[in-house]
Structure 1
Amino acid sequence: MSKHDRKLDLAARAAWMYYVAGETQQDIAEKLGVSRQVAQRLVALASEQGLVSVTVNHAVAECMTLAQQLQEKFGLRLCQVVPSAGVESAGLQQMIAVAGAEVMAQMLKNERPQIVAVGSGRTLRATIGELPELDRPQHSCVSLIGAIASDGSCTRYDVPLWMAEKTQGRYFILPAPLYADSAQDRELWCNHRIYRTVTEKAAQADVMFVGIGQVAPGCPLNADGFISDAEVDALLADRVAAEMIGHFISEKGERAASELDSRLTSVPLTPHSQRNIIAFAGGSEKQRAIAAVLRGGWISGLVTDEASARFALAQAG
């Protein structure tokens, strides 16, 4: 790589951090190991060289390499990796959301009617939030996960509604709670005519957009009251690392059986399928989960960060 290309790479990193993650120039200087004046010049250079419009148009070479390695190692059809050196939490989620929205938009711009199945998760919700308004009333948005709380209200897991509002398309909600009160109660929900109609539509989806959840004390499912502290401990004892629309996945990438399975109402998932399943996830707290999902062949596409990409590749040997 030439000196000019290395400088553009550094400018692109600075642009991601400044324009997308919301870092200050002092923050960028400290994290890139340069002076504040150099950080200021790098941000200016990114603008002068046309690297920045609404998004950063120059991909960091190291991130492109990691994306290619992930595609080759795990058989992905699509992969985007955003720079994450020194960036965490909300800033990193925002970077993944911006990159992920570009991936989504490319697929949703299709004039042919599309069935878009949507899961749940904070990163997925943030990604949809970054989508531009798209006039695609011919598309259908289908929920992969029940978003009804025990009192009948809708929960924050009702992410597909956001997608339907962005596309102006029809929205098909999965009429069930994430976990039924009992196995018998699950049978009642899942045998309802509308439930069967929606899950059949989800099975025909052209693309599925999902989040990847970690399993740990205080994880979203635990914090939101869907699984208890004792259930989290039991899952961790069985070396469960990840969760996708309520399905638990072990560190080895295998489907992990759980007492919760008998009450789960989500659309079924299987590894190594031919379905177009694109996940959006990143951050240090999700690295084990992302690595497990990749190892098990549960997804065909991924938008993540460089630290998570390196972790997954290292775990794969």
Structure 2
Amino acid sequence: MASPIEDRRNGRRAAQLRLMSQVARLYHVRNLRQREIAELLQMSQARVSRLLAQAQEQGFVRTAVIVPEGLHPDLEGAIELAYGVNEVHVVEVTSEESIPVELGIVAAQYFSESPIEGSLIGFTSWSTTLRVMARELESSRGGGRRAVVEMLGDLGSPELQHEAARATQRLATSLGAEPVFLRTPGVVPDRDRQRSVLADPYVARTLDLLGSLDVAFVGVGPADTHGPLLAGDNFFSAEQLASVRAAGAAGQLLQRFVNSSGEPLDTPLDDLVIGITLAQLRSAGRRIVVAGGQTKHAALTACLRGGWADLLITDLTTARHLDAAAGSSAHVNSRTD
């Protein structure tokens, strides 16, 4: 069995190979200039040049890009083109149950190799996948004054709320940033309670920051109970969720509901949420989604159709679903799964 140090070393190597392959594909297959690649991936042009040189040294580039085992660049490219997403990474996972952990680890590896830029970073702290990412992310030096801001109040049990706060602290520490917590219920019982919460100056100040995010790690889920959440447990009731599904909700972004085209759905439940609005989310500089699994297929399709993601990290089965939903021609790697 590999040691934790060997696992981390292998993880960094896999992330570096993935990045080399992606840069080589953008340059040699999609014919983007190095400057354009640097802007798209938010890295320096010098780093793009180094990655291209490394890809050639590794033998990835001859007369074509040679794809390392386990990567799916054709499928990633199809989803990018079909939905207008800047960057898609498809991950082979060992099981449906392991998706949150495996995607979270891959995301941590990716952002260790391609550091998160921006001074104001929005974070969905109750997401299981993003909590894994925060735990596994290697520390990096923050440039200047930075903050990690929670984009939604507390959901679920006290234990989950505690884990969410710890994840925010971990991510902030890794990025050399200050954590900004939103210590209030994420879903309140009625409109009067929402007004009372919004009157708190600390809550108001935090919510105001959410209109100026450089990066937003977006939580995406079905219009139903999911993950560690339970109906009515500091969350919507089963009846409330049934009502929004009947009104056309295909999924939610931070508990704001969208229809199957990804358009915002105006529902009374909006008045019960303490967190980022869809208008604020739309204005974020870069929106990152790390999610997958069968229960999220409809929600992720709606998310991409609505243009809510600039970068997506997801599992292979979900990626194939997204490709089929886009009406793309079938493309699979030459090897069998």
Q: Give the TM-score taking structure 2 as reference length.
A: 0.69
* 1:101–1:218 Cα change, 3 Å: closer
Question: 1:70-95, CA deviations, whole angstroms, 9 ceiling, x for partnerless residues?
Answer: 211111122211124x63212x3333
Offset of 1:157 from its aligned partner?
4.1
Alignment of 1:200-239 (within 5 A): 200-216=208-224, 220-222=228-230, 225=233, 226-239=235-248
Aligned pairs for 1:1-317 within 5 A:
52=10, 54-56=12-14, 57=17, 59-60=68-69, 63-84=72-93, 87-90=95-98, 92-106=99-113, 108=115, 114-119=119-124, 120-136=126-142, 138-147=145-154, 154-158=161-165, 159-216=167-224, 220-222=228-230, 225=233, 226-270=235-279, 273=283, 275-317=285-327
Judged with a 3 Å threshold, the aligned counterparts in structure 2 of structure 1 residues 289 and 96 are, in CA distance, closer, same or farther, namely same
Partner secondary structure for residue 309 of structure 2: coil
Instruction: Give the secondary structure class of the aligned counterpart of 1:101.
Output: helix
Shift of the alpha carbon at 1:103? 3.4
The alpha-carbon deviation at position 196 of structure 1 amounts to 2.5
* SS of residue in 2 equivalent to 1:302: strand
Instruction: Output the amino acid matched with 2:212.
Output: Q
How far is the alpha carbon of 1:61 from its aligned partner? Answer: 6.8
**RMSD (Å), alpha carbons:** 3.1
- Structure 2, unpaired ranges of 5+: 19-67, 328-337
Q: 2-side partners of 1:191 and 1:251: how far apart? A: 34
3-state SS in 2 of match to 1:89: coil
Structure 1 residues 89, 290: closer, same or farther in 2, change over 3 A?
A: same
The 1-side partners of 2:252 and 2:318 are apart by 16
Q: Whole-Å Cα distance in 1 between the matches of residues 190 and 162 of structure 2?
A: 20
Residue 121 of structure 1, CA deviation: 0.9
Q: CA deviation at 1:218?
A: 5.1
Q: Distance in 2 between matches of 1:274 and 1:172?
A: 17
For the 8 Å contact 1:121–1:211, the answer to whether it is kept is yes
- 1:291 partner letter: T
Distance 2:111 2:71 in 1: 23
CA distance in 2, matches of 1:237, 1:243: 14
**By how many angstroms is 1:185 displaced?**
1.7
TM-score (norm 1): 0.73
Residue 150 of structure 1 and its aligned partner are, at CA, apart by: 9.7
CA distance 1:189–1:148, change in 2 (3 Å): farther
For residues 219 and 146 of structure 1, the distance between their equivalents in structure 2, rounded to whole angstroms, comes to: 17
Offset of residue 198 of structure 1 = 1.5
Q: For the residues of structure 1 that align with 2:243 and 2:130, how far apart are their CA atoms?
A: 27
- 2:122 and 2:148 in contact (8 A); partners too: yes
- In the alignment, is the contact (CA less than 8 A) between 2:155 and 2:187 conserved in 1? no
What are the ranges of 5 or more consecutive residues in structure 1 without an aligned counterpart?
Answer: 1-17, 20-46
Answer whether contact 1:66 1:306 (CA < 8 A) is retained: no
